[in-house]
Amino acid sequence: MLESHTGVNIAEVLLEAIEEWGIPADPPLVTDNATNMTTAAKEANFSIHIGCFAHTLNLACGRALKINNVARLLGRVRRIVAYFHRSPLAMGVLKEKQALLNLPLHKLIIDVQTRWNSAVDMVERFLEQQPAVYAALTAKELRGKDKSVATLAETDISNLEELQLILTPLRTATAALCEEKVPTLSIVLPLQHRLVHDILAGSAEDTEFVKSVKRAVSDDLEKRYTDEVIHKTLIHASLLDPRFKSLPFLSDAEQLEAYQSLTVEVVKCVKAREAAIQRIKQEPGQPQLPQVLNLPDLPDVPILNSSSDQEEESPPSPILKRIKQEPGTEKNAPERRKDSPKRESGAMSSLFGEVYIVKVEEAQPKSVVSRVEEEITRYKLVQPIPMYENPLKWWKSSEPQFRCIAMYARKILSIPATSVPSERVFSTAGDIVTAQRSALKSSHVDKLIFLKKNWNPS
């Protein structure tokens, strides 16, 4: 964008992109939690605007790392790591101590201020190499060389270990959210509940240091995704994911309400789809339905002659000819009602007549609501699949059983929970457009990026 990144300008760019790519109106929007993106979603009238959950975790963990005790402890670790990075002598002594203590010959990691998970990496590597770091700092070659660097006390080491235990699951959650081959929107609510009520839950054994870290992260996460529309969308996504369909963190009443809400949305989706198909049928000049839906053409049905034509063309059978020629046959035969079917007479017919003849009415086609309710009932009885399985593959194999629900599942589960995939597209564009390829046309750049992100040689 050449203009300033205000909410109004971003909204105009989003609407232009929707029109350029032929995307249906009012698609779901997933962005970070910046104020200008929130304003852009309102200006463009997006009904579903979901904040990136990875960015939400980043904000929550960043708030915890800004606590005075935590920031002071990380600053001391950062000074030690920076000292070994800038001093070749210190690095040589560290390698000697690593060899003597049979520790991996790993370099210490220094964190990046804008990435909270790099602080976890720094703490994890420091704790791994802490015996060698202590031995190197107390060695005679380095003792007193830099007075700003000092070894850590036992309490500091314990706090670092507690900090690592708290932040490691959050880093794992971020990695799980950034996957592109499985639905991620369905993970948001189960993951949020798991983090707030289990991993970050307070314990009687927690120190004040641990309590302050847990409280900072959980308070920030708990206030997210409280908007009614967004919360309902997240619940529907979790219900449609066969891994999380049981929603154990909801009460029975909340689960019943969630499935009722899901039924309403599925009915709306199916009716909209059927209305679109009917409109395609009725519009003149439009391609036929098989072409629109990519269905195979039906074979031509042979034209059969009418009954009158058959009677005129085909000669009468010998039996009918003999009956017609017998004298008195038509006169002596009992009169039959015109609307009653012709049937042979017999003992059973003379005894019971038409008493036990029951007219079977043709079954009326089921309404959309009935079909959806039946599918929802059957879907509730399905056992959840393991966490390592791909729910998209499950829906692909189960779609014939749940055709109505599958329409809505395809719509909801395609929404990502993070904006990380789109940010990776920018990185891909940076790899394609280089100084040696600066003359590429914009249309060619679009095609190359599309092929890079979507081409599957297998």
Q: Are 363 and 221 in contact (CB under 8 A)?
A: no
Identify residue 447 by its one-letter amino acid code.
K
Work out the pLDDT band at 43, boundaries 50, 70, 90.
Answer: very high
Q: d(Cα 442, Cα 422) in Å, to the nearest integer?
A: 18
Angle between helices 228-240 and 403-412 (to 10 degrees): 130
Q: What are phi and psi of 112, to 5 degrees?
A: -110, 130
Q: d(Cα 109, Cα 117) in Å, to the nearest integer?
A: 12
Q: Answer with the residue of higher pLDDT: 276 or 89.
A: 89
Give pLDDT tens digits for 287-341.
554 444 444 444 444 444 444 444 444 455 444 444 445 555 444 444 544 444 4
Structure tokens at 446: 């679009």
In the predicted structure, residue 51 carries a pLDDT above the cut 50: yes
Work out the pLDDT band at 40, boundaries 50, 70, 90.
Answer: very high
Q: What average pLDDT does the segment 97-104 reach?
A: 93
Q: d(Cα 195, Cα 201) in Å, to the nearest integer?
A: 8
Work out the pLDDT band at 346, boundaries 50, 70, 90.
Answer: low
Give pLDDT tens digits for 171-205.
888 888 877 678 789 999 999 999 999 889 888 88
Q: d(Cα 441, Cα 433) in Å, to the nearest integer?
A: 10
How many other C-beta atoms lie within 10 A of the C-beta of residue 264? 11
Which residues touch 103 (CB under 8 Å, ≥6 apart)? 97, 128, 129, 131, 132
Which pTM value belongs to this model?
0.73
Tell me what pLDDT residue 330 has: 46
Work out the pLDDT band at 148, boundaries 50, 70, 90.
Answer: confident
Q: d(Cα 384, Cα 241) in Å, to the nearest integer?
A: 9
Instruction: Out of 71-85, 248-262, 435-449, pick the least confident.
Output: 435-449
Tell me what pLDDT residue 357 has: 59
Tell me what pLDDT residue 184 has: 82
Q: d(Cα 52, Cα 225) in Å, to the nearest integer?
A: 10
Q: d(Cα 166, Cα 178) in Å, to the nearest integer?
A: 20
Structure tokens at 291: 């072409």
Tell me what pLDDT residue 350 has: 65
CA distances from 233 to 38, 48, 190, 227 (A): 18, 8, 13, 10
DSSP string, 32-71: -S-HHHHHHHHHTT-S-EEE-HHHHHHHHHHHHHTSHHHH
Residue whose tokens read 């790591």: 81
Q: Are 47 and 229 in contact (CB under 8 A)?
A: yes
In sequence order, the β-bridge partners of residue 49 are: 29
Host H or E run for residue 31: strand 29-31
pLDDT, averaged across the chain: 82
3-state secondary structure of 50: strand
Q: Are 238 and 391 in contact (CB under 8 A)?
A: no
In the predicted structure, residue 124 carries a pLDDT above the cut 90: yes
Instruction: Out of 181-195, 337-351, 355-369, 441-455, pick the least confident.
Output: 337-351
In the predicted structure, residue 286 carries a pLDDT above the cut 50: yes
What's the chain's length in residues? 458
Work out the pLDDT band at 25, boundaries 50, 70, 90.
Answer: confident
Tell me what pLDDT residue 299 has: 45
Tell me what pLDDT residue 349 has: 63
Q: What average pLDDT does the segment 146-162 reach?
A: 88
Q: What average pLDDT does the segment 360-372 reach?
A: 77
Tell me what pLDDT residue 334 has: 47
Work out the pLDDT band at 112, boundaries 50, 70, 90.
Answer: confident
Going by C-alpha positions, the residue among 35, 48, 32 that lies closest to residue 8 is 35
Tell me what pLDDT residue 176 has: 81
Answer left, alpha or beta for residue 440, where phi above 0 means left and psi between -120 and 50 means alpha: beta
Q: Are 90 and 453 in contact (CB under 8 A)?
A: no
Q: What average pLDDT does the segment 357-367 reach?
A: 66
Give pLDDT tens digits for 197-255.
988 988 888 899 999 999 999 999 999 998 899 999 999 999 999 999 988 889 999 99
Q: Answer with the residue of higher pLDDT: 366 or 396.
A: 396
In sequence order, the β-bridge partners of residue 31 are: 51
